[in-house]
Amino acid sequence: QQPYLHIHCMFRRVLLGGIGASATAAAALSYKQSLAEEKMSLKMGIFAPPGGGKGTVCKKLVRDYGFVQVSTGDLLRDAVKNKTPLGMKAKEYMNKGELVPADLIHEIVGSHLKSPEVMQKGFILDGVCRSKANSEFIVDEGLTPDLCLILDVTEACVQERLGGRVIDPVTKDSYHLKFVPPPPEIADRCIRRKDDYPEAITKRFNLYQKGLKEVLSVFPPATVKKIPGEGAPKDVYLHVQKKVDETLAHKKMESLFEGGADPKKMMSALNALSWVLTRGSSK
């Protein structure tokens, strides 16, 4: 209790009085160093409607934090390609034109998530939890996310993002009629995917919204955080970073009391929280 009260008082001083730029830089450096030393990992799920931008966010998180992005589709394709025992079982169903059973998919996902590399680095569940059964499997396997991040995007925004998307059938490159238009010499041959028309977009958006509440109902409410998903990508990512940093700092505070209070761990936790506070104030 006493070490915690001491840290709490220090942070009241930081919040009320602020800290200088040099202290901010020192806290940031110490925080990053302490994460590297302790190999602090995070179990995370990310949720957004089609066109919601979670793919872009995941790439940045992998780049900046070293997390492993976990997608059911990618894992299934890799298992089949590498001819793993589970992959070969899945291929039998795929060759028959049948859906791969949920139990088999869960087995493929679970074995990957529990691998030493993924457990050490932390992971992002990207499209893994599409039903309540998927979420229950994750919890039953002891892999409950520390953070479930929802990118809040309206249907109007999704319609604008996906409705203007076209693909060059020759190069397979994607363009957007408003944001990234195709070069004039190939514009006439570009096509739109069937599921990028307004009616299809509305259907996909409604299916996502309908299932989201049920998917998240399995996880602890305190882990579910919603952030603005519209606007400039860099601004959206700043919101994402803040939630990730806050969660990492909370985990570090929890580790402080495992096995008794250690002075080095206390200072590490203090630096972590200071970094989160100063990042938040700078935004």
Whole-number pLDDT of residue 99: 83
Total-model pTM: 0.77
pLDDT at 41: 87
Q: What DSSP character marks residue 13?
A: H
pLDDT of residue 81: 93
What DSSP assignment string belongs to 182-226?
Answer: PPTTTGGG-B--GGGSHHHHHHHHHHHHHHHHHHHTTS-GGGEEE
Given a cut of 50, the residues of the chain with pLDDT beneath it are 1-21, 24-25, 27-29, 31-32, 35-37, 281, 283
pLDDT score at 39: 54
What pLDDT does residue 119 have? 93
Per-residue model confidence as pLDDT tens digits over 58-105: 999 999 999 999 999 899 999 999 999 999 999 999 898 888 899 999
Give the catalytic positions in this structure: 54, 130, 165, 193, 204
Q: Measure the N-to-C terminal CA separation of the chain; round to a whole number of Å.
A: 32
Could you tell me if 128 and 134 are in contact, meaning their C-beta atoms sit under 8 angstroms apart? yes
| pLDDT, position 252 | 79
Q: In sequence order, what are the residues at sequence separation of 6 or more whose Cβ sits closer than 8 angstroms to the Cβ of residue 224?
A: 148, 150, 216
Residue 230's nearest CA partner among 130, 159, 125, 129 is 159
C-alpha–C-alpha distance, residues 218 and 13, integer Å: 38
Tell me if residue 148 falls in helix, strand or coil: strand
pLDDT at position 254: 75
For position 122, what pLDDT does the model report? 96
Residue-wise pLDDT for 216-235, tens only, equals: 999 999 999 999 999 899 99
> Residue 125 pairs with which residues in a beta bridge?
45, 70
Residue 180 DSSP one-character state: B
Q: Residue 54 is encoded by which pair of tokens?
A: 């979670």
Predicted pLDDT at 19 = 46
Q: Helix (H, G, I), strand (E, B), or coil: what is residue 68?
A: strand
